[in-house]
């Protein structure tokens, strides 16, 4: 394996920036999946479909956050094994996480279909149901992309995951326009575009890994049970899935309150959650970069570099945590107007006021992301989960 992807030697700040930069871009592109849906629906479909994609998106995000959270935990194991040079166990973990993860994802899809029920007042029920049915059917593709994206990031190839995602987002935008604007498929077209993009991302990641790092692809000899590794995988993935989904659950609880306020308030909340998604991309990316950097060095037994990784991450996240609230506050009217297509009315005023208030607390959010990345990287995945749970409870 090329030494340029080894994070256990060389400048830690440089490694952190090289990891964080493509992760930030990747997370921003990831937000485009939902944002493009909402933007095109807002321009070429009706108000009800625009509001419905916000409600359906909250439920969809719960499933996707569980998947991405689980893959985040698995990536810690990948990074630690990679840093320790244990290629055989790496391949075995690859097989275990793929086979068991797909099985769990299929179960989640089935449960989602069984529990799918009306989420809002009658005028939105049909739209929400159509969107979620398609998304639930495509969850295995979402899992495959997130698993292989996590694997690539764990071995330091975040740029590759970014390029794959950029290609998929391009397809997503094109399909969104074709299905919604040209073919008039409405909210179903937006869902099909997102599902197709996830599938393309998964295929491209797998092809890249087979071409550039075939030694990490499992063979028949690697497809055997490893009780210790399976237990560790189950623990890490379960806890990090709960951690990632806990904030989404909080959003769902807020969505329940918002839904009582009428279509204007629902539209306002839909717009602001999209904007917050972009802001959170920076904190989430810093946390993921910290986790990979810490995990590889922890796997290699280099504790001093683990501590230095934390300090460098804290400095970077504080800098972003001071800049982001200012940007969000100053640009609140512009960004909300862009999302809603108007700079007047009750929906615009609600969204603008919400964004200005929540921006004041983003420094604390980014600081917390540093600690979450550090504790994930050293394998203490319960600590970030407890923090997020306390956040939701309060």
Cα 267 from Cα 337, distance rounded (Å): 12
The gap from C-alpha 35 to its chain's centroid, in whole angstroms, comes to: 14
- Pseudo-torsion of CA 131, 133, 138, 139, nearest 10°? 100
Q: What percent of the chain has pLDDT over 90?
A: 27
Give the pLDDT of residue 56: 73
User: Over the stretch 71-104, which tens digit does the pLDDT of each residue have?
Assistant: 989 999 999 999 988 999 999 999 999 999 999 9
Burial 167-190 (b: 16+ CB within 10 A, else e): ebbeebbebbbebbeeeebbbbbb
Cα 151 from Cα 179, distance rounded (Å): 32
3-state SS record for 129-180: HHHHHHHHHCHHHHHHHHHHHHHHHHCCCHHHHHHHHHHHHHHHHHHHHHHH
Cα 371 from Cα 309, distance rounded (Å): 11
pLDDT value at 203 more than 50: yes
pLDDT band at 117 (very low <50, low <70, confident <90, very high): low
Long-range interactions of 163-170: CB distance < 8 A, separation 24+: 164/201, 164/204, 164/205, 164/208, 165/26, 165/29, 165/30, 165/201, 166/25, 166/29, 167/200, 167/201, 167/204, 168/197, 168/198, 168/200, 168/201, 168/204, 169/29, 169/32, 169/33, 169/36, 169/197
Closest Cα to residue 288, out of 63, 23, 84, 31? 23
pTM: 0.80
User: Is the separation of the CB atoms in 204 and 167 below 8 Å?
Assistant: yes
Determine the average pLDDT of the residues in 57-81.
87
Determine the average pLDDT of the residues in 187-216.
88
Cα–Cα distances in Å, from 203 out to 70, 88, 147, 198? 20, 24, 12, 9
Helix (H, G, I), strand (E, B) or coil at 354: helix
* Both structure tokens of 175: 């399909």
Give the pLDDT of residue 4: 41
Cα 272 from Cα 344, distance rounded (Å): 15
Please give the mean pLDDT across all residues of the chain.
Answer: 84
Determine the average pLDDT of the residues in 236-253.
80
């Amino acid at each position: 394996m090329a030494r340029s992807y080894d994070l256990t030697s060389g400048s830690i700040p440089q490694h952190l920036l090289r990891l964080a930069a493509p992760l930030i871009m990747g997370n921003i592109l990831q937000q485009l999946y939902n944002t493009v849906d909402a933007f095109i629906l807002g321009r070429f479909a009706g108000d009800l479909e625009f509001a419905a994609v916000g409600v359906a998106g909250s439920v969809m995000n719960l499933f996707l956050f569980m998947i991405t959270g689980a893959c985040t935990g698995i990536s810690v194991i990948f990074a630690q094994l990679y840093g320790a040079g244990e290629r055989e166990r790496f391949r075995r973990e690859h097989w275990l996480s793929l086979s068991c993860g797909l099985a769990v994802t299929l179960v989640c899809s089935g449960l989602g279909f069984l529990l799918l029920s009306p989420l809002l007042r009658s005028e939105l029920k049909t739209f929400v149901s159509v969107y979620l049915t398609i998304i639930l059917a495509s969850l295995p593709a979402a899992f495959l992309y997130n698993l292989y994206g996590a694997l690539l990031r764990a071995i330091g190839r975040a740029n590759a995951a970014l390029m794959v995602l950029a290609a998929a987002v391009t397809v997503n935008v094109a399909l969104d326009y074709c299905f919604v604007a040209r073919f008039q498929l409405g909210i179903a077209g937006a869902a099909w575009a997102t599902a197709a993009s996830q599938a393309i991302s998964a295929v491209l990641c797998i092809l890249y890994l087979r071409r550039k790092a075939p030694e990490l692809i499992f063979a028949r000899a690697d497809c055997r049970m490893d009780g210790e590794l399976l237990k560790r995988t189950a623990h890490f993935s379960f806890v990090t899935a709960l951690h990632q989904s806990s904030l989404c659950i909080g959003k769902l609880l807020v969505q329940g309150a918002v839904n009582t306020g009428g279509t204007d308030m629902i539209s306002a909340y839909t717009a602001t959650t999209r904007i917050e998604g972009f802001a959170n991309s920076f904190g989430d990316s810093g946390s993921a970069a910290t986790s990979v950097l810490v995990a590889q060095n922890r796997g290699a037994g280099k504790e001093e570099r683990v501590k230095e990784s934390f300090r460098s991450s804290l400095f970077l996240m504080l800098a972003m945590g001071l800049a982001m609230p200012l940007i969000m506050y100053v640009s609140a009217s512009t960004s909300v107007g862009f999302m809603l297509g108007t700079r007047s009315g009750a929906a615009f005023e609600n969204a603008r006021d919400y964004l200005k208030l929540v921006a004041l607390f983003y420094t604390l959010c980014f600081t917390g992301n540093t600690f979450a990345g550090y504790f994930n990287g050293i394998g203490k995945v319960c600590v970030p989960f407890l923090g997020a749970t306390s956040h939701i409870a309060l």
